Structure 1
Amino acid sequence: MTEPRLADHDLAALVADWLTWDEAGRELGVTPAKVRTMVRDHQLAAAKPAPDRPQGVPALFLVDGEPVKGLPGLLTLLHDSGFDDRECIAWIFLDADLPGRPIDALRENRGSEVKRRAQALAL
């Protein structure tokens, strides 16, 4: 049996807390339009966690009013490897034997190993 594709993972099950554009904007101190720009520029990622839910940003992507340290570079790296936002979010929230999930490593300032593993995806 093969692993499910990243795009097929249930994001609502992987990510417990989601922020709307307005909530993310308030947390970042910017407008919802700026949040959309940040997503477009790969500083953040957004997706619909479920078909019946609006697009949002995982709450764990923000800390102290900013994107988690290392997240923008990681997202750019994953996008350069052909991932879309949904796949990026799934990869970041799945256990990648770091130990733990890449999002936890980023939030604990252990981003070097996460980026190394992401770079290996491109090979």
Structure 2
Amino acid sequence: MPTPEVEWLTLPDLVEILGEPLGRVHRLFDEQHLVGSRRHGALAVPALFVKDAQPLGSLRGTIIVLKDAGFSDDEVIDWLLAEEESIGRSPIAALRDGHKSEVRRIARTLA
């Protein structure tokens, strides 16, 4: 389960940070560049999923692998934020550090 200190970005936050209209932000969800949750009310994404005013580039393929394994949006988010013993940190931290192949290899074993 994600830790409470995770910062969440709502759709208005994403519109501002990404500099994109709301319709384009919705397409980022539809095209699986981002995955969100309504666990706190309004649809929101962990701020860690955005880097340099864009969705984290390596996130989309990882989301697709996890969704193909049957994960719900909340389960995708929880897995990305939780510590992963085999890599010694959270998968999102590894993705942010450029370790896409390692994260996806582990994600594929979850199917």
User: Under a length normalisation based on structure 2, what TM-score does the superposition of the two structures give?
Assistant: 0.90
Percent identity between the aligned chains? 33
1:21 aligns with 2:3: no
CA distance in 1 between counterparts of 2:11 and 2:80 reads 20
CA deviations over 1:29-51 (Å, ceiling 9, x no partner): 2112221221121110000233x
Q: Shift of the alpha carbon at 1:28?
A: 1.4
* SS of equivalent to 2:109: helix
Q: Report the TM-score, using the length of structure 1 for normalisation.
A: 0.82
Among 85, 98, 101, the alignment partner of 1:109 is 98
* Matches of 2:94 and 2:5, distance apart in 1: 15
Deviation at 1:20, TM superposition (A): 0.9
- Residue equivalent to 2:110: 121
1:15, 1:93 within 8 Å by CA — same for their partners in 2? no
Shift of 1:79: 0.8
For the residues of structure 2 that align with 1:18 and 1:107, how far apart are their CA atoms? 17
> Which one of 28, 38, 56 corresponds to residue 38 of structure 1?
28
Question: Which SS does the other structure have where 2:71 is aligned?
Answer: coil
Cα root mean square deviation, aligned:
1.5
Alignment CA distance shift 1:92-1:108 (3 Å): same
What stretches of structure 1 move > 4 A for 4+ residues in a row?
none
In the alignment of these two chains, the number of paired residues is: 110
Find the residue that maps to 1:96 and give its secondary structure: coil
1:3 corresponds in structure 2 to none
* Cα separation, 2, equivalents of 1:65 and 1:85: 22
**Unpaired runs of 5+ in structure 1?**
1-8
- Partner of 1:56 in structure 2? 44
